[in-house]
């Protein structure tokens, strides 16, 4: 019988969930709007898990917020209500006990999951920055996900940049919302429209340039801390035209060339919207020596 796994990605906007086989091939993928109140969110998650519980061999969850190594939400931003201190061990064990099931599970921060999704047999050291509703960073060192002693590594969202926290300043959702207010168009713009309006609206161009410059500043911090072989960019930003990425690459590598006489590869994440699900499931399978 083919083993099946349920992977859930809890974002500030949507919950994505899917059924996968052991080779990480999606058998079905769905999404619902996230209810960010913890009581309602618990009901949503319970309904999703119990729908698949009788046919799965394992469960993986990626979520916004800082996740401790014992699966507790240590910190959460204002996108969620009363999420801090939510204990996934208690929550999941209660569901499993109620349904008389015994399966392995893992819970990862969404940026760490997106980062682990990019692991392969070639790269040893890299970082992944997710730019969506908020901002997260994951770090891989010597092919292993590095989260620190308690799981805080990469949690840069509340660091201030020019007087504003990074979670807001580099929120890709906020950028798109800001551009929609300025750009005169009957249709709402999305990631794929960014480069077009960059070329055709001066006010929008200035806003996008400012966003790219701020992103470069954050990349500098992490490059100098970890000196990665490659940098991946995920979240909604990764759906932009490749020419938007080129703007960033030129700016960042110009600085790096002048400062250290070298350059670094910067790419969009390969897994796109499925990165949280793929990465958390990949982590579960590796943890159980199934990869």
Buried b / exposed e across 260-270, counting CB within 10 Å, b at 16+? eeeebebbbbe
The domains spanning 4-114+273-288 and 122-268 adopt the same CATH topology: yes
Q: For the chain, give the percent of residues with pLDDT over 70.
A: 99
**pLDDT greater at residue 264 or residue 273:** 264
Q: Where are the domains of the chain?
A: 4-114+273-288, 122-268
Tens of pLDDT, residues 132-176: 888 989 999 999 999 888 888 888 887 888 889 998 999 999 999
* Cβ 150 vs Cβ 74: under 8 Å: yes
CATH superfamily of 4-114+273-288: ATPase, nucleotide binding domain (3.30.420.40)
pLDDT tens, residue by residue, 96-137: 999 999 999 999 999 999 999 999 888 999 999 999 888 989
Contacts of 237-243 spanning 24+ positions with Cβ under 8 A = 237/131, 237/132, 237/172, 237/191, 237/268, 238/131, 238/191, 238/268, 238/269, 238/272, 239/190, 239/191, 239/192, 239/272, 240/191, 240/192, 240/194, 240/195, 241/192, 241/194, 241/195, 241/196, 242/268, 243/195
Task: Return the higher-pLDDT residue of 12 and 72.
Answer: 72
- What's the pLDDT tens digit per position in 25-83? 999 999 999 999 999 999 999 999 999 999 999 999 999 888 988 999 998 877 788 99
Residue 151 has a pLDDT of 80
> pLDDT-derived band of residue 188, with 50, 70 and 90 as boundaries?
confident
Q: How far is CA 140 from the centre of its chain?
A: 14
Burial (CB count within 10 angstroms: exposed 0-12, middle 13-18, buried 19+), residue 52: middle
Q: Give the homologous superfamily in CATH for domain 122-268.
A: ATPase, nucleotide binding domain (3.30.420.40)
């Amino acid at each position: 019988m083919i083993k099946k796994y349920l992977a859930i990605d809890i974002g500030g906007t949507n919950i994505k969930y899917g059924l996968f086989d052991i080779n990480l091939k999606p058998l079905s993928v769905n999404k619902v709007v996230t209810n960010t109140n913890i009581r309602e969110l618990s009901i949503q998650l319970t309904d999703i898990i119990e729908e698949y519980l009788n046919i799965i061999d394992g469960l993986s969850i990626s979520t916004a917020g800082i996740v401790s190594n014992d699966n507790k939400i240590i910190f959460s931003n204002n996108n969620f209500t009363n999420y801090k201190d939510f204990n996934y061990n208690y929550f999941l064990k209660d569901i499993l006990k109620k349904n008389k099931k015994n399966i392995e599970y893992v819970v990862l921060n969404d940026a760490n999951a997106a980062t682990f999704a990019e692991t392969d047999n070639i790269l040893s050291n890299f970082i992944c920055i997710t730019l969506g509703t908020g901002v997260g960073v994951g770090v891989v060192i010597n092919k292993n996900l590095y989260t620190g002693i308690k799981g805080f590594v990469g949690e840069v969202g509340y660091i201030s940049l020019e007087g504003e926290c990074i979670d807001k300043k580099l929120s890709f959702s906020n950028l798109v919302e800001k551009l929609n207010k300025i750009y005169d168009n009957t249709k709402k713009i999305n990631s794929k429209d960014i480069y077009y309006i960059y070329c055709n609206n001066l006010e929008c161009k200035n806003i996008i340039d400012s966003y790219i410059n701020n992103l470069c500043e954050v990349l500098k911090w992490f490059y100098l801390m970890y000196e990665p072989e490659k940098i991946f960019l995920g979240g909604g930003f990764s759906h932009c035209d490749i020419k938007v990425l080129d703007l960033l690459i030129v700016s960042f590598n110009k600085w790096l060339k002048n400062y250290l006489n070298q350059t670094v590869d910067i790419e969009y994440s390969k897994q796109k919207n499925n990165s949280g699900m793929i990465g958390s499931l990949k982590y579960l399978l590796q943890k159980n020596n199934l990869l």
